[in-house]
Amino acid sequence: MDLDSIYQNIEPEDVKDTGGPQIQSQSQNEGQTQKQRGSTCFMWMTVCLGMICVLLLVSIIVQHISITSERDLFSSTAEEFNQTINSLQHKNTELTLKKLKLENELRKLYKQGKDRFFISSESKNWSESRQYCRDRGGDLVIIKNEVKQRFITSFFKQRVWIGLTDIQQEGNMKWVDNSILSQGFWEESEPNVSGGEDCIEINPTSPVLNNWNDESCSSMRKWVCENVTSVPASS
């Protein structure tokens, strides 16, 4: 007979004889306590897992918002960069076309210049200068655009009269054909209306697009006639 057989035969009698109900009750209490501990442990594990899940979810949402914001910012910056490049290319094309147009118009003026314009070698006041041009079928030169301004200025190193004045009404600049001035190429702080300066000169030592000055009409200057029909014998 082995040991297991002996214990099987003895145990029931031992339990019966030595107060079996008390031991059974203790075992049940221990079982219940263990079950309660297991439930509590399971509950805390569940709570912990839930909190971890919530933290993970919050982390994912924050990362998603951050990535979306960065992507939008990058997209916006790239779009602005492209717009700037396009704008610069457009301006470059415009400037190139404007330069070509100016060069063509200047070439035409230089071709016409010999017959169309007269440049004096002596000096007169503004009224006498104008009269000199009118006596020969023309008048003092009128400058209404940048091309002509550049063209006329290119001939001089000294100050010359042009056909612009406010002698009739102070501050109301008019060309000799009676048209009103719409675009001027004034020196800085000119015209300075005080001091009886009513006749306009070009000062070629100033920048080509900023070289007009109002001057006393009695000052002696060289001058430029336009559209003269007869070439003066001398001037």
Sign of the four-CA dihedral 161, 164, 166, 167? positive
Smallest distance from Ca ion to CB 179, Å: 18
Number of chain residues interacting with Ca ion (CB under 5 A): 8
- Calculate helix-pair angle for 3-17, 20-116, nearest 10 degrees: 110
Quickly tell me which residue has 């075992």 as its tokens: 27
Per-residue contact string for residues 163-182; x = within reach of Ca ion by CB under 5 A: ---x----------------
d(CA 107, CA 18): 134
Give alpha helix (H) positions in the chain: 3-17, 20-116, 126-134, 146-153
- In the complex, minimum distance from the CB of residue 80 to Ca ion, in angstroms, rounded to a whole number: 46
Two tokens, residue 118 = 């007269």
Q: Between 162 and 228, whose beta carbon lies closer to Ca ion? A: 162
Beta bridge partners of 124: 221
147 in Cβ contact with 109 (< 8 Å): yes
Sketch the per residue contact string, 44 through 63, with Ca ion: x for CB under 5 A, - otherwise.
Answer: --------------------
Amino acid of residue 76: S
In the region spanning residues 75 to 114, those forming contacts with Ca ion, defined by CB under 5 A, are: none
Residue 139 or 190 having the CB closest to Ca ion: 190
Q: Which is nearer to Ca ion, 10 or 193 (CB)?
A: 193
Closest CA to 139 of 168, 118, 160: 118
Report strand pairing: 212-215 vs 139-140: unpaired
Please identify, among the stretches 24-32, 110-118, 135-143, 159-167, the one whose residues bind Ca ion according to the rule CB under 5 A: 159-167
| Residue placing its CB nearer to Ca ion in the complex, 117 or 190 | 190
The CA dihedral of 72, 74, 78, 79, to the nearest 10 degrees, is 10
Residue closer to Ca ion (CB basis): 86 or 192: 192
The three-point CA angle 83-84-85 to 5° equals 90
List binders of Ca ion among 181-220 (CB under 5 A): 190, 192-193, 197-198, 213-214
Smallest separation, CB 224 to Ca ion (Å): 19
Minimum Å gap between C-beta 196 and Ca ion is 7
Site string for Ca ion, 111-150 (x = CB under 5 A): ----------------------------------------
Q: For residues 117 and 224, is the Cβ–Cβ distance under 8 A?
A: yes
Q: Which is nearer to Ca ion, 166 or 226 (CB)?
A: 166
Q: Smaller CB distance to Ca ion: residue 126 or 151?
A: 126
The contact set with Ca ion (CB under 5 A) reads 166, 190, 192-193, 197-198, 213-214
